[in-house]
Structure 1
Amino acid sequence: MKKLIPQFGEARLQSRGDAFTTLARSIVGQQISVKAAQSVWDRFAAAAGGLSTRLSPGAVLKLDAPVLRGAGLSARKTEYLADLARHFEAGTVHVKLWQQMDDEAIIEELVAIRGIGRWTAEMFLIFHLMRPNVLPVDDLGLIKGISQNYFSGEPVSRAEAREVGEAWAPFRSVATWYIWRSLDPLPVDY
Structure 2
Amino acid sequence: AARMSDAALIERLCTLRGIGRWTVEMLLIFTLGRPDVFPVDDFGVREGYRLIHGLEAQPKPRAFAAIGEAYAPYRSTAAWYLWRAADRAKTIKYQA
Aligned to 1:179: 82
Residue 83 of structure 2 aligns with an amino acid whose one-letter code is W
What is the alpha-carbon distance in structure 2 between the residues aligned to residue 108 and residue 157 of structure 1? 22
Map residues 33-44 of structure 1 onto 2, 5 A cutoff: none
Asked if structure 2 preserves the Cα contact closer than 8 Å seen for 1:137 and 1:161, the reply is yes
What is the alpha-carbon distance in structure 1 between the residues aligned to residue 71 and residue 35 of structure 2? 10
Pick aligned residue for 1:124 from 11, 27, 32: 27
Asked if structure 2 preserves the Cα contact closer than 8 Å seen for 1:146 and 1:161, the reply is no
Deviation of 1:148 (Å) = 1.1
Deviation of 1:179 (Å) = 0.4
What is the alpha-carbon distance in structure 1 between the residues aligned to residue 48 and residue 18 of structure 2? 26
Map residues 26-105 of structure 1 onto 2, 5 A cutoff: 98-105=1-8
- Residue 159, structure 1, aligned to residue 43, structure 2: no
Residue 55 of structure 2 aligns with an amino acid whose one-letter code is G
Moved beyond 3 Å, runs of 4+: none
Residue 135 of structure 1 aligns with an amino acid whose one-letter code is F
Deviation of 1:163 (Å) = 2.8
What is the alpha-carbon distance in structure 2 between the residues aligned to residue 113 and residue 143 of structure 1? 26
Asked if structure 1 preserves the Cα contact closer than 8 Å seen for 2:45 and 2:79, the reply is yes
What is the alpha-carbon distance in structure 1 between the residues aligned to residue 71 and residue 7 of structure 2? 19
Residues 103-161 of structure 1, C-alpha deviations (whole Å, 9 max, x = no match): 011112211221111110111111101111011111111111111112x1321222332
Identity among equivalent positions (%) equals 48
Larger Rg: 1
TM-score (norm 1): 0.43
Map residues 143-154 of structure 1 onto 2, 5 A cutoff: 143-150=46-53, 152-154=54-56
Residue 56 of structure 2 aligns with an amino acid whose one-letter code is E
